[in-house]
Structure 1
Amino acid sequence: MAKTVFAQMGHKLARYRGRWLEELRASLAEKDREIIQLSRAQLRAKIKATARPPIGNGVGKKSSWTEMALIENEISKKQRFIPVRDLTQRAGQALIELKPCWMMSPLAVAQYVPKGSIQFDLCIIDEASQMPPESAIGALLRCSQAVVVGDTNQLPPSNFFKSVIEDEEADEDEAVLNESVLEMANGAFRPARRLRWHYRSRHSGLIKFSNRLVYEDALIVFPSPTEAMARMGVEFRSVKGRYKAGTNPIEAKLMIDAIVEFMQTDPDRSLGVVTLNQKQRDLIIEEFEYAIANNRSVQRYVESWKDRNDGLEEFFIKNLENVQGDERDVIYIGTVYGTEEPGARVMQRFGPINGLAMGLPESGG
């Protein structure tokens, strides 16, 4: 029966020209984008229409003004604005009515929202595997309910940069903290909900390793029409490099060559570069700046991707701790670590990765 159904569907699809189907697909995608934009406009209009910000005090000394009276006075100014912290302290309820959803970092919460000035109904902590508990306390104290979202198999919070500042010779293996706010939430909140759909990777090979060894094949990976394309999936390039004092110059040189070649031959695809430690990142950044000093085509590539898609896919060179969440058409990953001499033993010191039980950073597109 299934074969018969598929045969009938194929026979019907064969009646339509591919160009016409592609036009329909493009039209549907465009209408979908329009619906998204209209939904945003509708939500903004609804919030504006239903907002009832308190008028507050608008008489006497300006230092005593509050709520909408204070906001309207600030809007009329061209200079000498009051500090943001004072504004949220004195006009917090009006601000919440006008802008009910705030996106802030933990540092911004502490800096701009004085304790007791604003109480949020809901606090959502995203990428919680990267946030130490002490960084989340300020936001949690200012809300009535919390949703903590993250992946316990991703890198835990790192104090790597602090270690480097205090001691440049510090062992990177000591730069991983034991607990994130996500781990604390998993122990305190019930039930924990697991999201299983994996949507980021455009090729199953990008997530296959992590799905098998990290997520126990629990992720639902959607089929891709690009599985057989040569430019898609995972490609391994062996490098006979040498690792010493945190860097691998041979690998860095080959990566620079690959980056320059990519930018010259494939300018319509975005690119990101990831290293497994900070010293190798710094080395590649230095070598890259030297390599492109007189290379106009590579310079045009970098500048072009700063503008495309509002800069969301501009070229980057990052170390592992800073790369989670980035998506590019192609990502080069330098493993960095290896032997110091031919035939020598590879030391099992892999920086922050040693602090993971079994996790990996999420695969990009």
Structure 2
Amino acid sequence: MAEKATPAVRSALEAYRVAVSRIGKGTGVRAPRFRRDARDAAERASPAIPCWIMPHYRVSESLPVSLGEFDLVIIDEASQSDLTALPALLRAKKVLIVGDDQQVSPEGVGLEEEKIRSLMGQFLGNQVGLYRPQMSPDKSVYDLFKVVFAQGQIMLREHFRCVGPIIEYSKREFYNHQLRPLRMPRTSERLDPPLIDVHVLDGQRGNGKTNEGEARFILEEIQRIVSDPQMPGSARVGQDLTNTGG
């Protein structure tokens, strides 16, 4: 793509990069000007760029404001995305929402319930009754689309991140054994058993969240593992712990 890009597109992309870097935290007096510069540059470059990847706030900050500008918008980790993702969706002809309702969602901590109800009544009064409650600050984009497109959900069952014994608890307790762990560890990666239940006899919570008994046990266990010559990479792990103050 870089080889095919015209000089005009390359210039626009460089102008976009410079403008976004100048925006910084977006609180400076010149930030509005840099946002305009970024949008102008993105508008010139977007016809030649098939895919843009950015956090939600960057969409409104630096992409042209145009309905249906993109053929497809994908919201990843949508169960952790609040309604600030909606401006990205307005730019889509089609939408793909990827999320997991078993993960942490927005909490809306510190927001006044009466104020929320008042704003929802003022600005969302014409929304479909079933959709309106899903547009509160304590709901995620995933929650909203799970209601709006209830007939279009597809569960992805193949799990590649963890080996079977590691994901077993979550698979049993949260996913009704519907996940299929497909990662097969190499011989050098295997630990048998991979999980061990330990009862720390002197473990108790002290002031705040400190549990000296558990912390002491964890440190001793790490020291035992890194000093075991049969553990691959033990010297490197030990060096990493030393470098980080562990």
Q: TM-score, normalised by structure 1?
A: 0.44
1:238 aligned onto 2:199: yes
Report deviation, 1:122: 1.5
Assess, with a 3 A threshold, how the Cα gap between structure 1 residues 100 and 213 changes in structure 2: closer, same or farther: same
Distance across 1 between alignment mates of 2:52 and 2:81:
18
Match of 1:141 among 77, 84, 90: 90
Q: Which moved more, 1:120-129 or 1:106-115?
A: 106-115
* Shift, 1:296, TM fit: 6.0
Provide the residue aligned with 1:181 in structure 2: 141
Q: 2:172 and 2:10 mapped to 1: Cα distance?
A: 59
Residues 264 and 212 of structure 1, relative CA distance in 2, 3 Å threshold:
same
Q: RMSD across aligned C-alpha pairs, in angstroms?
A: 4.1
- Map Cα deviations across residues 72-121 of structure 1 (whole Å, 9 max, x no partner): 8959x9xx989652333223333213432111111222332353499222
For the pair 1:101 / 2:44, whether they are aligned, the reply is no
Task: Please state whether the residue corresponding to 2:93 is helix, strand or coil.
Answer: coil
Whole-angstrom distance in 1 between the partners of 2:79 and 2:13 = 40
Is the CA contact 1:93–1:118 (under 8 Å) kept in the aligned structure 2? no
Q: Which has the larger radius of gyration?
A: 1
- Structure 2: distance between partners of 1:185 and 1:147: 10
| Mapped partners of 1:179, 1:117: distance in 2 | 24
Note if contact 1:119-1:142 (Cα within 8 Å) is conserved in structure 2.
Answer: yes
Structure 1: give runs of 5+ residues left out of the alignment: 1-43, 56-67, 164-176, 270-294, 304-314, 316-365
Give TM-score scaled by structure 2 length.
Answer: 0.62
2:103 match: secondary structure: coil
Query: Is 1:124–1:149's contact at 8 Å kept on the other side of the alignment?
Result: yes
Partner residue, 1:248: 210
Instruction: Encode CA deviations 1:163-188: one digit per residue, 9 max, x unaligned.
Output: 9xxxxxxxxxxxxx752111111111
Query: CA, structure 1 residues 135+200, in 2 after alignment: closer, same or farther (shift >3 Å)?
Result: same
Equivalent in the alignment of 1:329? none
Deviations 1:271-314 (A, max 9, x none): xxxxxxxxxxxxxxxxxxxxxxxx966335x59xxxxxxxxxxx
Percent identity of the aligned residues? 26
**Which of 162, 174, 177 is residue 217 of structure 1 equivalent to?**
177
- In structure 1, C-alpha distance between the alignment counterparts of 2:39 and 2:148, rounded to whole Å: 32
Give 1:71's aligned residue. Answer: 12
Aligned to 1:258: 221
The gaps in structure 2 that reach 5 residues or longer are: 24-32, 112-136
2:123 — aligned with what?
none
Structure showing greater relative contact order (alpha-carbon pairs closer than 8 Å, 6 or more residues apart): 1
